[in-house]
Amino acid sequence: MAEQGPAQEIAQGYVSDGAAVELGAVVIDGKADAGAAVRLPLATLNRHGLVAGATGTGKTKTLQLIAEQLSAAGVPVVLADVKGDLSGLAAQGESNDKIAKRAEELGDSWEPAAFPVQFLSLGTGGKGSPIRATITSFGPILLSKVLGLNETQESTLGLIFHWADQRGLALLDTKDLRSVITHLTSDEGKEDLKGIGGVSAATAGVILRALSNLEAQGGEDFFGEPELDVHDLMREADGKAMVTLLELDNLQSKPALFSTFLMWLLAELFEELPEEGDLDKPKLVFFFDEAHLLFNDASKAFLERIEQTVKLIRSKGVGVFFCTQLPTDIPNNVLSQLGARVQHALRAFTPEDQAALTKTVKTYPKTKHYELDSALTSLGIGEAIVTVLSERGAPTPVAWTRLRAPRSKMGSIGAEAISAATTSSDLHAKYAETIDRESAYEKLAAKVAAPPAGEAPPPEAPAPKPEKQEPGMVEQAMKNPAVKSFLRSAASALGREITRGLFGNRRR
């Protein structure tokens, strides 16, 4: 039997019995070996991963490559489309000399393909269908991150939420939270404020100012109803799983809201989905782009909750990929949980870059085939240093990988095409119109406008007799987003205290 070459030796670690994402082929001494495939087993994707690399090295194309294979395999995908390039997933790619050459190098029978895509936008100002979350659902911990509060202020906000939860005051949008804080710091609310304990009027004022800043940045367009139902991320069309793209054109104006919203989505998935055993493929894969924004200025308690959520959500069949420029952007306790690593080229121009490179090298298994510090700065565009978990759960050998070209269009399909796809989507009909039902703002306003003591309130009109329901009316009503939002907040409406999950988000 002929002795295996280095490329074949490395590829032996990537042999997979089950379905897998085909990443590319092993490169040795600058040459790709078409017979040495590098694969990412679907069964290990709920062990999470990292896609990293400097700007312009091919990270976006790698996300596109993985997303389209997951969709074809029936695995829904959620991606943040920061630059707008990923909308090309919705259209077939076009061959050119570069694609043909790469396909030949890798033994890849490249064929153009398009995938089902739904476009969503944070709030009402984007091209996608607007998605929202209620203040109550977001909870005090995540909202504190968005508002930039310190630990003392976060604790105060938690007490304010607790007070509202106990009194059945639904905090649906920013004006609801503002009205509650304003009430607690007013003459009428002094006794309520004392009853909470540990809340100073000065701290409440700081929170109000932070809330005003969030509203000025467009936050008031995001918080409200109808709230996103996470099951809408797990759909199929044309025999393929849906790819959900979150449009983030105005990311720079509200980076904390974007990153924290993605964390809220993960927390909601954790609360909503049932426990699963070992699966042949994940139920959903979630790509957490610009991941450094989540960890910037995060408190120790917040980081601990991220770590715990990433660890626990595996059991729900959800895989999470963090995407960022440097692996050092991810805290070690989270980085250690990421089974798959796709590392594009790093720059080493400054002492800080050199330090990051040294730390990155230390996180990889030892390899006799590459000098990793040199390799990581020498990778070409569309190449990466890869190691993943095998189906046995062991790290695969480090592989310098030349990645396959995506089958879909590499670039944006354009604003008009995105808008057309959005308006024709059934999600647009479900989420386009903002609903503003009775909540804390209206209840507290009514309390202020109540008749003076001793004066009888106006008589209530007699309640009409209920009409007999036609068959199917209940089912039709349950599909109405306003009804669903009401039922999701039923606990607060009935005066029962809301139960909150790991991140302080409302549990159903």
Please report the pLDDT score of residue 402 as a whole number: 97
Please report the pLDDT score of residue 236 as a whole number: 93
SS3 call for 46: helix
pLDDT digit string (tens) for the chain, length 508 residues: 456 799 999 999 999 999 999 999 999 999 999 999 999 999 999 999 999 999 889 999 999 999 999 999 999 999 988 777 899 999 999 999 999 999 999 999 999 999 999 999 988 878 899 999 999 999 999 999 889 999 889 989 998 998 998 888 999 999 999 999 988 888 888 777 777 776 787 888 899 999 998 888 777 888 999 999 999 999 999 899 999 999 876 655 677 788 888 889 988 998 899 998 789 999 999 998 888 888 887 878 788 888 988 999 999 999 999 999 989 899 999 999 999 999 999 988 888 889 989 999 988 989 999 999 999 999 999 999 999 999 988 999 999 999 999 999 999 999 899 999 999 999 998 999 988 888 888 888 887 655 555 544 544 444 444 443 444 444 444 455 544 444 444 433 434 456 777 667 776 5
Residue written as tokens 């911990």? Answer: 141
For the entire predicted model, the pTM comes to: 0.85
Please report the pLDDT score of residue 464 as a whole number: 46
What the block records as the tokens of 211 is: 């809330």
Angle at 131 between CA 275 and CA 78, to 5 degrees: 50
Q: Are strands 117-122 and 243-247 parallel, antiparallel or unpaired?
A: parallel
SS3 call for 57: coil
What the block records as the tokens of 316 is: 């729900």
What the block records as the tokens of 406 is: 């995506």
Q: How far is residue 132 from each of residues 56, 71, 104, 152, 175, measured CA to CA in Å?
A: 32, 25, 45, 27, 15
What the block records as the tokens of 306 is: 């991220």
Please report the pLDDT score of residue 465 as a whole number: 42
Q: Are strands 31-41 and 399-403 parallel, antiparallel or unpaired?
A: unpaired
Please report the pLDDT score of residue 495 as a whole number: 40
What ranges in 288-407 are assigned the alpha helix state H? 292-295, 300-312, 332-335, 351-362, 372-375
Please report the pLDDT score of residue 206 as a whole number: 93
Strand partners for 318: 284
Please report the pLDDT score of residue 494 as a whole number: 39
What the block records as the tokens of 499 is: 């139960």
What the block records as the tokens of 175 is: 């004006």
Calpha distance 23→26 (Å, rounded): 10
Sequence-ordered strand ranges (E) for 42-159 = 49-52, 77-81, 117-122, 129-131
Q: How far is residue 350 from each of residues 174, 239, 359, measured CA to CA in Å?
A: 43, 49, 14
Please report the pLDDT score of residue 98 as a whole number: 94
List of domains in the chain: 6-132+224-427 (3.40.50.300)
Burial 104-141 (b: 16+ CB within 10 A, else e): ebbebebeebbbbbbbbbbbbebbbbbbbbbbbbbbbb
Maximum separation of any 2 CA atoms in the chain, in Å: 101
